[in-house]
Structure 1
Amino acid sequence: MTPTLNPKISQPAPVAPRRPHSFTRHGITVVDDYAWLKDPNWQEVLRDPSVLDADIRNYLESENDYTESLLGHTASLQKTLVAEMRGRIKEDDSSVPAPDGPFAYFRRFRDGGQHELFGRSARDGGETEIILDGDQLAENQEYFRFGGARHSPDHRLEAWSADIKGSEYFSIRVRDWADGADRDDLVEETDGAVVWSADATAFFYVKLDDNHRPMQVWRHRLGTPQADDVLVYEEQDAGWFTHIHESSSGRFCVIAGGDHETSEQRLIDIADLDAPPRLVAAREQGVQYSVADRGDELFILTNADGAIDFKIVTAPLDAPARANWRDLIPYREGVYVIDIELYAGHLVRLERANALPAIIIRDLATGKEHDIAFAEAAYSLDTMGGYEFDTTNLRFSYSSMTTPSEVYDYDMASRTRILRKRQEIPSGHNPADYVTTRITATSHDGARVPVSILHRRDLVRDGTAPLLLYGYGSYGMAMPASFSANRLSLVDRGFVYAIAHIRGGSDKGWGWYLDGKRDKKTNSFDDFASCGRALIDARYTSAKRIVGHGGSAGGMLMGAVANRAGGLFAGIVAEVPFVDVLNTMLDDTLPLTPPEWPEWGNPIESEADFNTILSYSPYDNVAAKHYPAILAMAGLTDPRVTYWEPAKWIARLRATMTSGGPVLLRTNMGAGHGGASGRFHRLDEVAIAYAFALWAVGMAAS
């Protein structure tokens, strides 16, 4: 079935004026009729949305009004969906307390609260104290999101950060545990992360530059103005981002820099603030590495020496250069080492093979290894870290598409586990009512693409069920087959929910990622379409009963498959979609452009990259043909995928397509890349996407 328009609608679709802007690069002239939707003052708009050009604001608001007019008849359905999803949330939920010295630190929500509370209790239990109340801090703010919170080594202070625009400019403050008051310290325009000095008199942070790039590491001494802060490190390559974190032992602040192909790390001894950062290994094009420390020995996760799926090496702290790296866990093709956690006596590595993760534990004294295994056909597994280094306790989480999240404490010495928390679904959830399974799709070139599937056990596979097919496929990010309470609102209405583990992600190893980037990017799109066809062949659904869903780079995927395989879909939901790929990659003033060139190619310098991107960029390949119904969702203050990308895309679609649709744009005028802030406000946006999906397959009254 195709979506039926609201019979009460009289409002016509907005028509964006065509104001042709042309440019020529590598001998090719490109005409962009909607370039005017990019505010020349966009950097200031990120800081203050009220300065947005009036013509652009009026256009975006007219699109919002049009979307509301078409989806307005689903308002009751949206309220029902929100109520269902909220009913599955334990409103007074709390994390498992994480011990650190005399205390155990936790995060929790109050009943009805939108934002987290940060607190602690004595290590062995007892009365709790709250240091940060997110609900209170968010009062009178249209947007509020914590960037992070970290207690000082002496447990007296809490450094915390927040973003109140949605533009990911985080301000850092310091709160005293003794009286709950913020000190005068205020550090602005940061990425939100903090690493304390050993004596808790100072902290390190990363400042964003005028192009919203994290390029500088600074040291702030408590009680002094930000103007007196000391620059510790500055990255000179505009294509590299810089971040900081604590090392495994807590001895160092790690300065981690890199792009999507190369990395480099430095160590700052937090007990010696005047010592310069210590380089681990000089950057080499294509070599990535990350460092964990244990006394005088470093453990390094790297792809050096052709280890496509990564390996683990060791090096002495006083001579950590590449020449001194020695293999500890050699490279094994097809077994992707995702991450490592280092403890005083154990090394933990998280691996993935054929889209299934595993935790492997190595006793560093004996060299013996064992794994933690699970039996479901598709599941998600992750280590959770902690504050303490000299411990045998490993905390990890497990879930599947049918099994709610479980948190375990695992004793690495005795090999025993304790369930510390199981996600509670207040409205009820019986995993036995659902099925998690996998199939494999064969792509255009013979590649075998895993598809994780969730459906009700009583589903009849006769090819008539509606199906939501989710995908991402970029930056080496894998899509875990984890539990989501929200998606049950679709599944309980008869939907099949499927995740396509396409190339461009690392679901089947780092080589799987390399086969879906740059000149191989179209493999991602063809894989996704092949997954849709495989689901049809397996009689889970049929053509035009599928709704595609993806966000950010997954939104680019949605735009590309709409152009290339639109006939498979009843509808497409593209959240903050990266669809104007060519123009964005040609603009080196945008926050993410230079660091993204290794992922997509540099069309400024390379004619081949220009032609490759031009050949698939969703905005540039909109054609005069039939398109499925499309909902694009944007955020005005989004620094990652700027608001004008989906705005231009929808304008061109509406002006060019010959049939199908409708195509809708909804811009959140008070949020950025992550959408609405607050755990319940976010449900409003999920409900809009789900109501659209139901509407696209003729089930909006369900």
Structure 2
Amino acid sequence: MTSRFPALPDAPMAEKRPTTAAFHGVTLHDDYAWLRADNWQEAMREPDLLPNDIKAYLEAENAYYARAMAGTEDLQETLVAEMRGRIKEDDSSVPMKDGPFAYARRYTEGAEHPLIVRTPRDGGDEDILLDVNREAAAHDYFVLGGTAVSLDHDVLAWSADTSGAEYYTLRFRDTETGQDADQTIPDVGSIAWADAQTFFYVRVDENHRPNKVFRHRLGSDPAEDVLVYEETDQRYYVSVTRMRSGAFIAIYTGMNDETEVWVIPTDAPDTAPAVIEPRTTGMEYQIDHQGDQFLILTNADDALDFKIMTAPVAAPSRANWTDVLPHEAGRMVIDVATYADWTIWMERQDALPRICYARTGTPLAEGQEITFDEEAFALGLQPSPEYETDLLRFTYTSPTTPAQIFDFDLSDESRTLRKTTEIPSGHDPADYVTRRITAPSHDGAEVPVTILYHKDTALDGSAPCLLYGYGSYGASMPASFSGNRLSLVDRGFVYVIAHIRGGEEKGRAWYEDAKFGKKVNTFHDFIAAGEALIKGGYTSAGQIVIQGGSAGGLLVGAVVNMRPDLLAGVIADVPFVDVLNTILDETLPLTPGEWSQWGNPIESKEAFDDIRGYSPYDNVTAQDYPPMLVTAGVSDPRVTYWEPAKWVAKLRVTKTDDNILMLKTNMSSGHFGKSGRFAMLEDSARSYAFALKAAGRA
């Protein structure tokens, strides 16, 4: 069969520079290890420092990509215009009241970035605290990090990343004058105010690991800031937050499946942090403060799907924890928030979320639920920053329903719609259909699958399909609205999200069943979703384009090795595909913390064999592959650029087909691509233009 998207002549061929390494009696051969620059950490901050030979190869691949996609330039411009037409340009968030003010983010027409604004609590003139567009004007890349206003509302702490490497610089702005203080603090993670003058922040180290908490006093030299906490376990990452009650700063430290929490009273910020419960292998917990107790969301006592417990503030150790919402298998408790008079929590069951609440003093098991009607939907909690309130804000969306923001009065159960995301170019939910089906996997597991298509799309197998998945770290994929997707759906595509194992859509067991040696379940679930779509007439073999990013790139990389016959194309965004080599290298920023997901192949021959069995780079084989679009970012600290670069280099000399294979590397940004709400549309347009061409629709 003639390729829908054939390769061009003169594709770049990376030089082979063979290297070997031995582990557990196995010799690994790697022809492309040289693509990892010795100075990669410097190049992540300053991409121009990339060695010339590596830069030349990446730029040759970019030039090849440009030639291959040249015929889609008009289509991409059309797609960007369509997607931009679905964005209200002069948009704003619903103001959130906090003390004497109401804070919001507002966009002006044509602006890439927001304004941080506030008005008097009950109405009045607006003050612009931060014009992000003005700050971004001098930079090719600009992402706003954290913002936090002081307790007296006189100072705005704000941070930004200007390289894509996720190194954020912290600044302090006078909210009256709009001027920043002379002091700046580099390489900052999370931030939290203790009082009007005292501020806690996390610093990241040279390996991009957030591991130190400092205390800063306004006006003082940051060089004199006090080190409050230092994490010495390289697997653990640290963050700080202020509890809603305002009584405590919490220091969280932990990895994917294990946490430890320390607290500092805000009325005595110089106090040394006190641990709630020392770290215990496999135990996770998070806390919130309410009156004379802490509420604790935890998996303690084998509560696989988590439960809520309480502990007295005066004696919060594990010995004094008491169940208030007992564990129930299959009901995943995913978040908890406290007000003075209310406890609110989110649950997920059968891949659908729900919001529950109970008045203080009422058993949580007797709590109420906020109900919804659609077959598949997503929810988000936006609790008030104020502690003494009955107001709960939440978001609701579905694949056919643009995001809606509701204020819910917990005292009388009234629901007020505060905002529906406006689609300026028009949107009628009745034109689209959302379905939820289940796909039987290789071992009988039933995989939830969310489907979106236009009502006029024939379900006779003729429609192309974009199948999206992630399936790692317990991250659940919401059944939410995306205006961008409509550009595919309106062109006859069926858009599908597979809620595969590795996420927590069906509870913690859904995640645990795709760790270590069971990771292959993730890939089988994704294949099962594709087969169920074919069986149901939604699409047919050879009509499916699969897409995944980061660990979702591992997913699509493994699946294209396993079942290329199902596919019309592959979109692998900053894909984690050189898994074995990465998890064998403990000097990389994320590796030590990853061992709790994949196993430690340095110490374990079993983990080494498991990872080697599915790692996409190690399993490239001489077979036909569909058209493929692969992306990378030189400044990416999460999936380093050489993973996709090595994978493409190896694929190009191994595969047996004449389909296109492209590597598009962003030479000036990182994991999340372009910055700016409109610039980001170019990344989506690129992907969708590729999908349309690969499926024969462009």
TM-score by length of 1: 0.98
Q: Which among 625, 642, 645 is matched to residue 644 of structure 1?
A: 642
**CA offset digits 1:336-367 (Å, max 9, x no partner):** 00101111111111000010111011111333
Match of residue 341 from structure 2 = 345
Counterpart-to-counterpart distance in 1, 2:2 and 2:601: 39
Match of residue 492 from structure 2 = 494
SS of residue matched to 2:556: helix
| Greater than 3 Å deviation, 4+ residue runs | 1-6
Counterpart-to-counterpart distance in 2, 1:398 and 1:575: 27
Alignment map for 1:583-598 (pairs within 5 Å): 583-598=581-596
SS of residue matched to 1:187: strand
1:693 partnered with 2:683: no
Q: Is the 8 A contact 2:8 2:660 kept in 1?
A: no
Counterpart-to-counterpart distance in 1, 2:290 and 2:2: 60
Alignment map for 1:138-537 (pairs within 5 Å): 138-191=136-189, 193-198=190-195, 200-367=196-363, 368-537=366-535
User: 1:260 deviation in Å?
Assistant: 1.3
Q: Is the 8 A contact 1:3 1:695 kept in 2?
A: no
Counterpart-to-counterpart distance in 1, 2:218 and 2:342: 36
Q: Is the 8 A contact 1:266 1:280 kept in 2?
A: yes
Letter paired with 2:193: W
Q: Is the 8 A contact 2:577 2:643 kept in 1?
A: yes
**CA offset digits 1:363-392 (Å, max 9, x no partner):** 113334110011111000111122101111
Counterpart-to-counterpart distance in 1, 2:471 and 2:658: 27
Letter paired with 2:194: S
SS of residue matched to 1:627: coil
SS of residue matched to 1:653: helix
Q: Is the 8 A contact 2:4 2:695 kept in 1?
A: no
Counterpart-to-counterpart distance in 1, 2:8 and 2:502: 43
Counterpart-to-counterpart distance in 1, 2:239 and 2:660: 42
SS of residue matched to 1:120: strand
User: 1:271 deviation in Å?
Assistant: 2.1
Letter paired with 1:391: T
Letter paired with 1:605: E
**CA offset digits 1:24-70 (Å, max 9, x no partner):** 00100000110000001111112211111111011000000001111
**CA offset digits 1:237-293 (Å, max 9, x no partner):** 000011111113122111111111111001111221220011111110000000000
Label 1:2 to 1:508 Cα distance change in 2 as closer, same or farther (>3 A).
Answer: farther
Q: Which runs of 5+ in 2 are unaligned?
A: none
User: 1:87 deviation in Å?
Assistant: 0.2
Q: Which among 59, 62, 79 is matched to residue 60 of structure 2?
A: 62
* Identity value in percent: 53
SS of residue matched to 2:286: strand
SS of residue matched to 1:94: coil
Label 1:5 to 1:475 Cα distance change in 2 as closer, same or farther (>3 A).
Answer: closer
Q: Is the 8 A contact 1:504 1:514 kept in 2?
A: yes
User: 1:127 deviation in Å?
Assistant: 1.0
Q: Is the 8 A contact 2:453 2:494 kept in 1?
A: yes
Match of residue 544 from structure 2 = 546
**CA offset digits 1:502-560 (Å, max 9, x no partner):** 00000100110000111100000000000000000000000010000110000110100
Q: Is the 8 A contact 1:11 1:66 kept in 2?
A: no
SS of residue matched to 1:398: strand
Match of residue 23 from structure 2 = 25
Counterpart-to-counterpart distance in 2, 1:526 and 1:603: 23
Counterpart-to-counterpart distance in 1, 2:345 and 2:145: 27
Cα RMSD (Å): 1.1
User: 1:5 deviation in Å?
Assistant: 4.8
Letter paired with 1:217: V
Letter paired with 1:287: M
**Which sits farther off after the overlay, 261-270 or 577-586?**
261-270
Q: Is the 8 A contact 1:343 1:390 kept in 2?
A: yes
SS of residue matched to 1:626: coil
Q: Is the 8 A contact 1:451 1:531 kept in 2?
A: yes
User: 1:3 deviation in Å?
Assistant: 4.9
Q: Is the 8 A contact 2:161 2:169 kept in 1?
A: yes
TM-score by length of 2: 0.99
Label 1:349 to 1:660 Cα distance change in 2 as closer, same or farther (>3 A).
Answer: farther
Letter paired with 2:304: I
SS of residue matched to 1:306: coil
Counterpart-to-counterpart distance in 2, 1:608 and 1:409: 51
Q: Is the 8 A contact 1:626 1:658 kept in 2?
A: yes
Counterpart-to-counterpart distance in 2, 1:202 and 1:652: 53
Q: Is the 8 A contact 1:566 1:628 kept in 2?
A: yes
SS of residue matched to 2:552: helix
Q: Is the 8 A contact 2:578 2:618 kept in 1?
A: yes
SS of residue matched to 2:289: strand
Q: Which among 626, 631, 634 is matched to residue 633 of structure 1?
A: 631
**CA offset digits 1:420-473 (Å, max 9, x no partner):** 000000000000000011111000000000000000111211100000000000
Counterpart-to-counterpart distance in 1, 2:145 and 2:416: 30
Q: Is the 8 A contact 1:186 1:225 kept in 2?
A: no
Q: Is the 8 A contact 1:603 1:610 kept in 2?
A: yes
SS of residue matched to 1:309: coil
